[in-house]
Every structure is written in C-alpha cells, then in structure tokens.
Structure 1
Amino acid sequence: MVDIKWEAAVATLQKASPSDLEAACHIVAESICQDGTISADKFSSIWSIEEWWQVREVLTDIFKTFVGQSVSKEQISEQLGSLKDEYKKVINDAVAIHNPSLRQKLVQNTAALSKTILSDFDWKLKLALSSDKLATLQEPLLQLDFNMRDANGERKEVFIELNKTELSKLITSLEGCSKAVQQLTTS
C-alpha cells in the first residue's frame, strides 16, 4: 500500500538528481541516529526551504517505517509507488546501509518511553519466626531485590518483602502483564 504523504512528495524528491537524493538520505539517516539538526543550506539550490522540510519529513518517515517494520527491498520499492526506479534504489540502499544504527536508535527511543527499567533482580525466601506482637509467627516471607536503571543511567535498588497472599497477587498481576505483552507481540 502506497503512503499518500510519500506519493505527494514524489515530484519534490525527483527535483534532485539521484546522487543529491543519496546525500540527503544519508544526512537525514545520520540526523535520526544522532538526534542532530540538519541545515537546509546544502540543498538550497535544489529545494526551497518548504520543500526541504517536506523531503526531510518524508525521508525520516520512510526510514522509521521501513526499519521499524523490517520491510524487504521489494516491499520498499512497491511502497514507494510512482517514484522512478533509480530513486527507489537510492532509498533502498540508504535503508540497507543505515538499518543497524536506525534500528538501534528506534529501540533506544522506545525504551526511553519508560523512565525506569528493571536491570536485574534477586530473591530470598525467609522464615519469620516471631514478631513484637506474636511470640511464634513462623510465616514464610519472600524478599525481592530489584535493581532499577532510569533514562539517565542512574541505578536504584528497591526491596520488597511479601507474604503468601501478597506473593499470589503479584504473580497473578505479572501473569496478566505477560499475556498482554504476548498479545501485543503476536498481533
């Protein structure tokens, strides 16, 4: 299926020579990977500032879509619609060249949506023999130690102590989370 936004940009993309489009593709891909800004000056003889914004936006969308969805070369050519074959080849080559770094950046951006992630955990089973209120308690307790890392790389440790009923609730909610993730990954 051809994206309407991409199809609308065909004439603008084809104003450049294939070698100029190749340079634009590499600059846009590198700016995505490095979170950099791109100056329109290099392409001012080819595109107006509005056209450059359109080219940059379309190329960014193309790279993110094709790399994020692991689209094959044939599918890329098909989805680029009425774009001339030499331009399709340029975009295909740029996607292939920058695929690993673009994929890594997309994964980093996705992971950064969550402010804190679990980096490691440990557990211990303890037996509480008594407390200040009961002389003989003998209740098994599970101690969970979570090592968390936030988006800035700072580490934090969280300790949780659970009895049998609290552990059952935790397991039930984690099973629900696991099912939800499985449904998202299979659909």
Structure 2
Amino acid sequence: MNTDNFASLAAIPNSNVLKFVHHTIDNLCGGVPVSHNDYSQCPLDKFWIATQNVKDLATKIALQKLSKEQTVLLLHQLSKETAEEIYDAAESRRAEIKKSLVSESIKDLLHLRDFDWNVKLAVASDKVLDLNESLVTFHLATSTTRLEKDVRNISIEMSASQVDKLLEKLKEAQQTLVHFQTR
C-alpha cells in the first residue's frame, strides 16, 4: 500500500479527522454515508479519496492485515497520536466491520427462499431388475433479491450416499463459518 495514498486525509482539518474516520467507519458498517457538507473545507476530490482510503484502511485493520505500527507509518502525514487513534477506532469495531464485509460479499449470491423434499424408492430400472435404492428429491426456491418474481425453482435428485456427502459438506461449511465469526 502506497503511503502517498493517504495524503488526502491531511486535507481534512485536523480537528475533524477523527470525526470523519468514525463517520466513514459507521458508513462501512451500514450506516449513513459521510456527507461532504460536514467537511466542506476539504476539496471534493480529496474528500472522496479520503473516504475510500479510510474504508480500505479500516478493512485491512479489521482483517488483521495491518498492525498499529504499520498504520502509523502509512499515515505519516498525520500526527502519531491521530494515526494511533484511527487504528484504535477501526480495531474497536473489528467485529462490525467483518460482519459488514461478509454481508456485502454475499448479497449477490443465491438465497434459499423455500424448500421441499420427498423420498422415493426405486425398485427397478430398465438396466437393473432389482434396484431397491432410496432417492431424495429436493425442490429449492432461490433468488438473488427479495422480490417474489425473481424466484427460481431448482430440483435435485440424490441417492442416500450423495445426501450423506452433502450433509458432511454442510457441516464442514458450518464449522468454517463458526470459526470465521469467532476470529
């Protein structure tokens, strides 16, 4: 990360830098966007660059990619105390920032809206006279938005062994999510 990228933060009046950082982190966590009207003494182009820089910096701090010392070095245009306070602001909201990042990354993924399932016993097929295999059919209603018209229906048929493998993978995914949330 280029340390010159953070020169835009020096354009925010020193007395308002921490307020600006807190507002930007609030926005990153789903709050109201930062308004240039509140920081009108800063040129608009530098304001938008500073906003993006604070979001990037807070994200890297929350994901533990930057230490306090690295943050102070990156923010060399500001006083050491201000740089440390910016680090502390992001560090103290680490869980919120992570949660927001996860929510943002999955918002365009398919969401399960409804499901149904049934089990049938296949006793024979055109190739095997005595099959006796249980089959599970899942009917999934998915969408990428909350709109009812966007719902896609998907049907999947699986054997008992395939269902067992699916359940194992889902348990692994659940453990990974639990591990990620506790980090």
What is the TM-score normalised by the length of structure 1? 0.64
Question: Residue in 2 aligned with 1:29?
Answer: 25
- Please, which moves more after superposition, 32-41 or 151-160? 151-160
- Counterpart CA distance in 2 for 1:99 and 1:146 is 38
- Counterpart CA distance in 1 for 2:44 and 2:76 is 24
- Aligned 1:120-135 pairs, distance under 5 A: 124=119, 126-129=120-123
In structure 1, give the amino acid aligned to 2:102: V
Question: Residue in 1 aligned with 2:90?
Answer: 95
Cα deviation digits, residues 71-99 of structure 1 (max 9, x gap): 46435535625243112112112202322
Answering whether residue 51 of structure 2 is matched by residue 49 of structure 1, we say no
2:138 pairs with 140, 145, 149, which one? Answer: 145
With over 3 angstroms needed to count, the CA separation of the structure-2 counterparts of 1:163 and 1:95, relative to structure 1, is: closer
**1:142 Cα deviation after fit:** 2.1
**1:156 Cα deviation after fit:** 7.5
2:29/2:100 contact within 8 Å kept: yes
- Counterpart CA distance in 1 for 2:136 and 2:87 is 52
Matched positions, count: 165
* Structure 1: runs of 5+ lacking an equivalent: 183-187
Cα deviation digits, residues 106-158 of structure 1 (max 9, x gap): 0111122422359989785x432368x79x65430320436565444578875
2:60/2:66 contact within 8 Å kept: no
* Structure 2: runs of 5+ lacking an equivalent: 177-183
Question: Residue in 1 aligned with 2:10?
Answer: 14
Question: Residue in 2 aligned with 1:70?
Answer: 64
1:160 pairs with 145, 156, 163, which one? Answer: 156
The RMSD of aligned alpha carbons is 4.1
Cα deviation digits, residues 19-38 of structure 1 (max 9, x gap): 41111111111112226433
- Counterpart CA distance in 2 for 1:78 and 1:148 is 49
2:36/2:44 contact within 8 Å kept: yes
In structure 2, give the amino acid aligned to 1:38: V
* Overall identity of the aligned pairs, in %: 15
